[in-house]
Structure 1
Amino acid sequence: MDAITSRLAIAQFCEHWQIREFYVFGSVLREDFRPDSDIDVMVSFEVDAPWGLLELVRMKRQLETLLGRKVDLLTKKAIEQSHNWIRRQEILDTAQLIYVSR
């Protein structure tokens, strides 16, 4: 899948799941990203998105199929509320925004 197709597929995924912001972070943005690396994804949802844990599992599986790799899917809210301030700051400072809803 080329970059344009990937972005379109991610946009469609985000619209379907009422995702307001879609970020990637971690090794996918660094030189240590390998063929067996997973992709770290952080999302924030529209205010009225009704999703729970089961839907997050479905989203994760869909993303893995879409991207052809294992995915670690986290919510921005969970990161912002993390007690591990070093990890929280590292993720929030380095995450790259891929999609934002219109």
Structure 2
Amino acid sequence: RRWSILELAFFGSVLRDDFGPKSDVDVLVKFAPDARYSLFDLVHIQDELSSILGREVDLVERESVERSENYIRRRHILSNVERVYVA
């Protein structure tokens, strides 16, 4: 709630058999339309998630994936997510 996050989801190697001890965790985040945040806020969220999960976190905004011109990457990410939080 603090960050006006509507959805958090995992994607990438954390959902596959190749996830290992040195793997990072890819996190897809969707903010409320009226959310106000800065790059510093994104770094803070990423650091907070890293602390909770005990691993490096790669935080990606869902909106940026949805707007990506790389349709192969967009389709791959959006079709292989596991939601862990939905507001």
TM superposition score category, shorter chain reference? over 0.9
Q: 1:85: how far off?
A: 0.9
Q: 1:16: how far off?
A: 2.1
Match of 2:5 in 1: 19
Tell me the amino acid that sits aligned with residue 75 of structure 1.
E
- Over residues 20-78 of structure 1, what are the superposed CA-to-partner deviations in whole Å (9 max), with x where a residue is unaligned? 01010000000000010000000101122101211101111111111100000000000
Match of 2:44 in 1: 58
Match of 1:11 in 2: none
Which is helix-richer, 1 or 2? 1
Task: Summarize the alignment of residues 1-102 of structure 1 with structure 2, pairs less than 5 Å apart.
Answer: 15-101=1-87
Mapped to 1, the partners of 2:69 and 2:58 lie a distance apart of 19
Unaligned 5+ runs, structure 1: 1-14
Runs of 4+ in 1 over 2 A off after TM superposition: none
Question: Equivalent pairs: percent with the same residue?
Answer: 46
